[in-house]
Amino acid sequence: MNFLQNHIESIIFCATDPVKPDEIRQCMSEMFEAEIPLDDILNAVDELLSKYEDEMYPFQILQIGGGYQFMTKPAYQSSLGIFLKQKSKKRLSTSALETMAIVAYKQPITKGQIEQIRGVNCDYAMQKLLEKELVEIQGKSDGVGRPILYGTSQKFLEYFGINNIKDLPSPKDFTSEVNEIGDVNDPDYEALANQAISEITETNNQLEITDATHEASTDEELVEEELVEQVVYISEDQSEEQPEESPDNSDSSEEDTSTENDQTKSE
């Protein structure tokens, strides 16, 4: 059994991609020229899994993407992160990550549906994800025009270190409990919630009263302004009419004076 285990260990170590149990069995059967039961392969792999759980090893065998692959342990993440950062500084952009997340959780999905969710064009992001082989074409939709359907690839599972797409965290795991008052299980939760609702309602009522008062005062100011304008307009009219009356009065007085003079002369 150890002989079989060593061969399986070497295969997993040399493989650049996760090795599936069937692939290991086919390889071993061809090498030994005999049929190797799948249970023997799985038992040998289980022993390897237990072996590399020891702290003396900086790496371990993980089940990823339906197969097995050597991976470094999380304790050495810092040093490896610096090394990989120095080696390649090319990372996915924010738009590409958002697009990939939509594909992962909504697959199979069309590009039009992705753009509808994001609200922007995603041609460039989809192109980069296809180039990196994180997203692949999975067929065509039955909708109008039969648009292409996209989904995550096998490399996506390997890149994020998960065995199946169902291993992705659910969206509710990312939801932070904000704007919540107390604990639902707390007996005072309902009382606190009702108090908060009443305070919000009272604040809204005060705002409505303030707005109404402001509107009323504004209406009064407008009425006063209109009255002032009317008074000023009337006074201006009167001032303009007053000089026109004085010449008429002077003319009439002159006519009276001339009439008196004529009467005196005639006498």
Please say if the pLDDT value at position 195 is more than 70: no
Cβ proximity of 125 and 25 under 8 Å: no
**DSSP-assigned beta bridge partners for residue 166:** none
- pLDDT, tens digit (0-9, with 9 covering 90-100), for 248-266: 444 444 445 454 445 444 4
- Residue 49 within a domain: yes
- pLDDT, tens digit (0-9, with 9 covering 90-100), for 6-32: 999 999 999 988 999 999 999 998 988
- Residue 21 within a domain: yes
**What is the count of structural domains for the chain?**
3
How far apart (Å, rounded) are the C-alpha atoms in residues 99 and 141? 19
Enter the DSSP assignment of 88. -
Average pLDDT over residues 218-245: 55
Q: Which amino acid is at 138?
A: Q
Look at residue 234 in the predicted model and tell me its pLDDT.
57
Structural domain span for residue 211: 178-238
Look at residue 162 in the predicted model and tell me its pLDDT.
84
- The two structure tokens encoding residue 161: 């270190």
How far apart (Å, rounded) are the C-alpha atoms in residues 41 and 191? 61
Look at residue 237 in the predicted model and tell me its pLDDT.
54
Look at residue 12 in the predicted model and tell me its pLDDT.
94
Cβ proximity of 36 and 26 under 8 Å: no
- C-alpha closest to that of 45 among 76, 5, 10: 5
Q: Euclidean distance between the first and final Cα of the chain, in Å?
A: 166
Please say if the pLDDT value at position 103 is more than 90: yes
Please tell me whether residues 119 and 154 are part of one structural domain: yes
Q: Count CB atoms within 10 A of the CB of residue 21.
A: 17
**pTM for this predicted structure:** 0.40
Confidence of residue 83 (pLDDT cuts 50, 70, 90): confident
| Residue % of the chain over a pLDDT of 90 | 27
Please tell me whether residues 13 and 54 are part of one structural domain: yes
